[in-house]
Structures are given as structure tokens and as C-alpha cells.
Amino acid sequence: MTLRRTALETLMEITDKGAYANLALKRALSGLEERDAKWVSAAVYTTLDHLLYIDHVIAAYTKGKLKPDIRGILRMGVCQVLYMDVPDSAACNESVKLAKEVGKGALSGFVNGVMRNICRNRDNLPPLPTEPLKRLSLQYSYPEYMVREYLSMYGEGFTEAMLSAAEGREMTVRAQYPYTSDVLEKELDKREIEYTRGQLCADAFRLARGMDISRELLFTEGKITVQSESAMMVCSALDAEPGMKVLDTCAAPGGKSACIASMTQNKACIDAWELHPHRAELMRRTFERLGVEGNVYVKDASVHYPEYDGEYDRVLIDAPCSGLGVPGKPDARYAKNDEIIENIANIQSDILDACAPYVKPGGTLLYATCTISERENQRQINAFLERHPEYEPGSLESVIPKAMWRRIEGGCMLQLFPHLDGTEGFFIAKLVRRA
């Protein structure tokens, strides 16, 4: 199978069958040489990043409904021409070959004609609408329902800056206790691996180029792990201390539990819950690799278990969410709609209500998502505080940079933005149970 066919089948599995991009690519890249794997991954992700605009261009040079294979071939071909610096002739010829390879030889002439027409007119492509909602949706390939919400919350200028922020898929790693950041820094320097230290969390190391993590001894020996700076900031905001009893309610695959264990030098008692048994088993393996002393349980966080009431000093709800704040997951944009997000918000509300009693008086409940969505974030917390007078806003000032204090909402909420913070769009809310 050619690389382009591998990329095409992976792309269609995501766009036409609803597969998760990271899982579909993991299967597709198995066994490929590193160079080939990078090309397939780039072709798939770059097409997804610009999907709505690519479709806008294709629609101007075609009529009627396209067969799925042909639509996928054209999407990848246009992506290569506009975004991947592939010569026009190569993009056209390879698209024609791909049509023949997937058994659509009768339509190879159509593919050739559309591709060459687009290439000839690449400096005069169909204009974008002038109306902000439609323009931003097409220009940055974000569904209209998302853009509409962002425009209502932040206005046109802020929304465009946010949507146009660089994707930034660099690998970020951190040390896992007893391995330290200082030792990791020396190791990276010795190997001449370029990195930058985190701006929001100094223990984050953003690597200028990735590493084959599955073969990296530092990883396999449990000395380092991959984790975004924003996820690390969530763990820091929980402010857990040695000797505390901590509950991570939606914990798989276990990265944040492991980070909390590292920050407390394995001296906190950590319980980690996960709804799905196979993901709980994955978390157990993560704990084993990283030397985390934590208890893994298969439990549904949306169900209240009275036996845990008042048991925990810290409770983390890293809630299931729409994932719209993660630039590296463009497939999440297209797999969601208003109805789905409302359903997600309802689940989040159930989890908050179920877990609220678990916090000891004076203890902390930390709510986090990896999304930019008022329904899942600010509105969710404001409604929770109305339902639960036993809780009050908790201060974030001691755990976030001073320059960010002015962005704290309601005394306890912080939304991270890719274009402001160079991170994923995480949301953090810190709540304290009254003594």
C-alpha cells in the first residue's frame, strides 16, 4: 500500500466513520519507517486542520455530491498544494494515481481536471464571505456553532487571534519523582536536544523536536513522561501536599494522578477512578512505569457513593469534555455539535454534584476541562455554586503567574488560550468547601 493510500484511508476513517485521529493514526503508522510515518501524520493532520476551507475550494470547482473516495483524494491533493509545499505537478499526478489505486480509475480524469484547475487558479481561489461568522468558520476551519459562541463571548478580533494561533504540536515532557527537572535539564543539554522551559510551569520541557518515546530509556524507566504544560498547571492548581488524601475522579490514562504523585513526592494517598475497565488497566500500567503509589478503581464519577463523603482533602474533576481547546485534535471540531455539547455539559453537572460531598470541610474541589466553551466551563461553575452554597470560590493567585491574576473570573476561574499562553485551551476552577 502506498503512503498516500495509507493517509487517505486514515483520513476517511476519521472524517467518514468518526474515528479518533490519534487512534486511527496509531494503527496506520504501525510498522512504518519514521520518515514515512511523519509524512502520513502530517498529511492527515494538515488536511483536518484546514478541512472546511479545503472543502470551500473544492466546491467551487466541482458540481454535485462527490463519492467519498474521490472527495478524500481531492481533499488530500488540495492540502498538499496549498499547505504542504508539494509541487503542483506531483500533487496532481499522485492524486490521479491514488484514484486508480483505490479502484476509481474511471474518475481519474475528473480528479486530474479538478486538481489542475485549482492549481492554475491558486492565486485566484474563491473569495471568503465577508460576514464574520462564515468567514472565520471557513478561513480557520472551525464549525459555525463554535465560532458563533466565541464571537458572542470574545468579539471578532480576539476570536480571530485565537483561531489563527499556531497549532504547536511540539512534545512536552516532565520529570517524574524521584527524577528531577534539574537532572533532566542536564541530560537534554548533554544530548544537545533543544528545548524551552515552560512559562506557566517551570518543570515543563518543550522539545524543539520530538523523540521516539517508546524507545527512550528515560521514558521506559519511568524517569520522564509526556504531559502538556497546561495539564501540569491543573495539577499545580490542585495544591496537594504530602499526607493529603486525593481523589482523581476521571483519571485515565493517569497522567494527572502521576503528576500529583510527583509533586507530593509520592507522599499523598491518591485514589484514581475510571469508568472503563480497559482504560483503568492502562492507568495501572502507567502507574507501574512511573512508580506511582496510587489506588485504581473502576467507578462512575457521575454516581454518588455516600461512603466517600468527607473523605478527601483534594478532589480533582478533570471532566470529560468537548476537547475544543486542544489544537492538536482538529477532529474534535467536526465530531461535535450543539446537541452533543449540551449532553456533555449535563454529564459534567452530574459529576460535579456527585463528587461535591467527597471533599472535607476546608478542602478543595478542582474542576478542569481541555476546552474553550462557556457551557462547559464558566456557566457550569456558576450554576454549581448556586446549587451548592457549601462551596465558595477558591483563590488561584498562589498557583498561577501574577501576570494572569487579572484574567481570573469570579474569583476562582481561569481560561487558558493558545494565542495568549502558548498552551492548549484548558479551563481551571478552584472551589473550597466551607469549614
- Tell the residue number behind the cell numbers 486514515, with chain if given: 10
Q: CA nearest 28: which of 47, 8, 48?
A: 8
Using CA atoms, how far apart are residues 355 and 374, in angstroms rounded to an integer?
21
Quickly count: other Cβ atoms within 10 Å of residue 66's Cβ: 19
Residues catalogued as catalytic: 370
Longest Cα separation, the chain: 74
Residues 6+ apart with CB under 8 A from 294: 254, 257, 258, 261, 270, 271, 272, 287
Distance CA 255, CA 270 (A): 13
The three grid cell numbers given for residue 310, joined into one nine-digit string:
468527607
All three cell numbers of 34: 519514521
Residues 345, 376 contacting (CB under 8 angstroms): yes
First CA to last CA distance, the chain = 64
Q: Which residue has the cell 509526556?
A: 226
Please list the residues that pair with 428 across neighbouring strands. Answer: 368, 414
- Which residue blocks in 164-242 are alpha helix, DSSP H? 181-190, 217-220, 229-238
Q: Are 254 and 225 in contact (CB under 8 A)?
A: no
Residue type, 170: E
Joined together, the cell numbers standing for residue 204 give 515543563
Name 206's bridge partners. Answer: 172, 196
- Other C-beta atoms closer than 10 Å to the C-beta of 190 total 8
Residue length of the chain: 435
- CA 412 remoteness from chain centre: 23
In the block, residue with C-alpha cell 474511471: 106
Contact by Cβ (8 Å): 115, 95:
yes
Q: Could you give the CA distance from residue 376 to residue 370 in angstroms, rounded to a whole number?
A: 10
Pairing relationship of beta strands 245-248 and 269-274 according to DSSP bridges: parallel
What sign does the dihedral 47-52-57-61 (CA atoms) show? positive
